[in-house]
Structure 1
Amino acid sequence: MASKNRDMRRPDLIVPYVEPEKDRSDTDALGTVSSSLPMVAIFMRNKTIGWTAVMFSIQAWLVETPEKRAASTTPGIFSVLMSVMALLVSYMPLFLPPPQQSRARFGSGTEAPPAAPPS
């Protein structure tokens, strides 16, 4: 009965917790994605990729620590601004459509081929 209330842990066997050293080669995947995805959105002019770039860059900016801020070359707000610019570029044809003459000259690529000359 007395052994139920007894503490069986031995103080001489207690090992204090020591946080492991961080590896220097540890890369920031979220930072890499948030800085490269806006460029993909600009080149492809894809609205979905543009919105994804905005969300990733905002997340990367919000989880930025002072250590990451000191180690990175650009602040997180720059990646947010770059992704917003990429989103604006992807919506640009909606507000500033390309001139009609270039479409008529080069075609859209989906029309039928020209008629063959009679023989």
Structure 2
Amino acid sequence: MPPSPIREDLVVQYVHIPLEPRSNPTGTLIQSMPMAAMFMKNKLLGWSGLTFAVQNYLTFHHDLKQPEDAASPLLSLAFGFGGLIASYTDFIFPVPKSTKIIGKTAEKIAETVTSVVSSATSTATA
């Protein structure tokens, strides 16, 4: 039987080196997208903000040291839902009919101004 190829003097003890905190460039995007959806009431921004927040929540590592300015993934998830809910407030609280009448009046005024400007332009060029 041949001798054992394992030599105890060559064994190296394992030393665990913890990972350094990762810099997350999407943190600003994740935090600001739901706020933009809230202000603009844009449904696409609301869904994108919620999607990014869910992705941030699923990829969060509890064992890694996070940067000090990083928001909690649960907080970003709550902001994502808030942005989505804010973009759908027109379904919860419909626009009153008086606002629609004002919109139609503004549309008529815009048509009148357009016709006046086009006639003035045609007489000036003729």
2:41 corresponds, among 41, 45, 55, to: 45
- Equivalent of 1:97, from 95, 98, 105? 95
> C-alpha distance in 1, partners of 2:105/2:63?
55
Instruction: Tell me the equivalent position of 1:114.
Output: 114
1:1-119 pair list within 5 angstroms: 2-3=1-2, 7-23=4-20, 26-29=22-25, 31-62=27-58, 63=60, 65=62, 71=68, 74-95=71-92, 96-97=94-95, 99-104=99-104, 106-107=106-107, 114-115=114-115, 116-117=119-120, 119=123
- Asked if the contact 1:41–1:86 (Cα under 8 Å) also holds between the matched residues in 2, the reply is yes
Q: Which has the higher Rg, Structure 1 or Structure 2?
A: 2
The structure that is helix-richer by fraction is 2
Q: State the alpha-carbon separation in 1 of the partners of residues 65 and 37 from structure 2.
A: 25
Between the aligned residues of both structures, percent identity stands at 25
Shift of 1:101: 4.2
Point out where structure 1 has 5 or more consecutive residues left out of the alignment. none
Q: TM-score, normalised by structure 2?
A: 0.57
TM-score after normalising by structure 1: 0.59
Which deviations, in whole Å up to 9, do the C-alpha atoms of 1:22-63 show, x marking residues without a partner? 435x32346444322212323443323312222322343353
What SS is found at the alignment partner of 2:114? Answer: coil
Using the TM superposition, name which of 13-22 and 93-102 deviates more.
93-102
Q: Distance in 2 between matches of 1:9 and 1:72?
A: 49
